[in-house]
């Protein structure tokens, strides 16, 4: 029997649609390209998630149905050897590959990374879909990184234990995201290191406390800041984007289109039209 093909970090059967790389995560959106017979047994060096976006997926992971349809989320630990593939070679999928050192430092995930398995919990699938949505919108590096920590935190399965009072660092994390959202280089891993906690633990406690991830708060805060800046008619769109923390004007446009269904320019026009029709207060 021949040895399995060795896949390096971020390597999969499929054509890359678009991707984003960070210091600890490699995120890709791919289209299946190989027929079932062309997919050989292969081994992955890295741990990774696979979110099936379309097509029928054949997987040997624990809890996988005979034919997994979208949306199915699979976690494969480092060293997984399998022949997972798409029926008839047709489908699309998102992958989130992890630096193995990330998992070594996440003590609460040690038991969760022993075998390949399907993650059926709605919170896990929703976290992965938020990454796919952000990728489709151009991909904010900070939001993608926060989303990757969120989906990794969901691997734990069991909810974080209830606490009577949140640790001080949780409030500090919230305040830091609010205060530092305008920094386009902000990363949750750096924030966690400053607070002395693992990013996975930060993501779990953050969602337990407020019902949303640090990435959700970051996206909302940047949009809020940009919305306020758009009230200044003399401020150029590029300056609004840079001041609010967006990578560029195009990135801000995509975020506004996704959130409000309109461009920042349309949003600005609507605000000024509304202000002109408001009655003037009596003297």
Q: Is residue 218 part of a domain?
A: yes
Domain count, the chain: 2
Domain match, 95 and 31 both = yes
| Domain end position, chosen among 155, 184, 203 | 155
Higher pLDDT, 155 or 163: 155
Q: Are residues 187 and 150 in the same domain?
A: no
Answer with the one of 155, 184, 204 that is the final residue of a domain: 155
- On whether both 150 and 183 belong to a single domain, the answer is no
Crossing angle, helix 214-229 and helix 199-210, to 10 degrees?
Answer: 70
| Residue 100 belongs to a domain | yes
Q: Is the pLDDT of residue 248 over 80?
A: yes
pLDDT given at position 283? 45
Note down the domain range covering 52: 7-155
Q: What is the mean pLDDT of residues 186-208?
A: 92
Q: Do 130 and 163 share a structural domain?
A: no
**Structure confidence by residue, pLDDT tens digits, 95-138:** 999 877 777 767 666 666 678 999 988 889 999 998 998 887 66
Are the CB atoms for 169 and 196 separated by under 8 Å? yes
Is residue 280, in this structure, part of any structural domain at all?
no
Residue 101 and residue 34 share a domain: yes
Question: What's the confidence (pLDDT) of residue 277?
Answer: 58
Lowest mean pLDDT segment, chosen from 40-49, 149-158, 231-240: 149-158
In a domain, 2, yes or no: no
pLDDT in tens, 139-149: 678 888 899 99
Average pLDDT over residues 65-79: 93
Q: Is residue 279 part of a domain?
A: no
Whether the pLDDT of residue 1 is over 60: the answer is no
Can you tell me the mean pLDDT for 143-172? Answer: 80
CATH number, domain at 194?
1.10.10.60
CATH number of the domain to which 140 belongs: 2.60.120.10
Same-domain check for residues 104 and 172 = no
Q: Does residue 176 share a domain with residue 83?
A: no
Residues 138 and 220 in one domain: no
Ranges 82-91, 155-164, 234-243: which has the least confidence: 155-164
Determine the pLDDT at residue 24.
79
Answer yes or no: do 216 and 132 share one domain.
no
* Confidence class for position 258, pLDDT limits 50, 70, 90: confident
C-alpha pair distances (Å), 19 with each of 143, 167, 195, 250: 14, 35, 30, 17
Work out the average pLDDT over 233-239: 93
Instruction: Write down the pTM of the prediction.
Output: 0.83
- Among 155, 173, 196, give the residue marking a domain's end: 155
Query: Is residue 280 scored above 90 in pLDDT?
Result: no
Q: Is residue 115 one of the residues assigned to a domain? A: yes
């Amino acid at each position: 029997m021949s040895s399995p093909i060795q896949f390096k970090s971020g390597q999969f059967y499929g054509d890359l649609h678009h991707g984003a790389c960070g210091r600890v995560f490699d995120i890709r959106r791919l289209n299946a390209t190989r027929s079932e017979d062309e997919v050989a047994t292969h081994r992955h060096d890295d741990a990774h998630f696979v979110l099936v976006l379309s097509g029928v997926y054949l997987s040997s992971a624990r809890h996988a149905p005979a034919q997994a349809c979208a949306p199915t989320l699979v976690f494969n630990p480092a060293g997984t050897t399998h022949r997972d593939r798409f029926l008839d070679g047709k489908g699309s999928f998102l992958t989130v590959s992890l630096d193995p050192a990330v998992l070594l430092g996440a003590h609460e995930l040690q038991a969760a990374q022993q075998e390949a398995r399907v993650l059926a919990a709605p919170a896990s699938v929703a976290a992965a879909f938020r990454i796919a949505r952000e990728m489709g919108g151009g991909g904010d590096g900070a939001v993608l990184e926060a989303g990757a920590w969120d989906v990794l935190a969901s691997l734990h399965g069991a909810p974080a234990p209830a606490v009577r009072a949140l640790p001080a660092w949780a409030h500090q994390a919230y305040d830091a995201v609010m205060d530092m959202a305008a920094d386009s280089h902000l990363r949750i891993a750096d924030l966690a290191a400053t607070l002395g906690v693992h990013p996975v633990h930060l993501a779990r406690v953050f969602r337990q406390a407020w019902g949303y991830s640090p990435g959700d708060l970051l996206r909302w805060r940047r949009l809020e800041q940009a919305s306020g800046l758009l009230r200044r008619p003399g401020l150029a769109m590029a300056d609004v984007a840079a001041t609010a923390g967006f990578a560029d004007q195009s990135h801000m446009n995509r975020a506004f289109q996704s959130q409000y269904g309109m461009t920042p320019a349309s949003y600005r026009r609507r605000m000024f039209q509304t202000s002109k029709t408001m009655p003037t207060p009596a003297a």
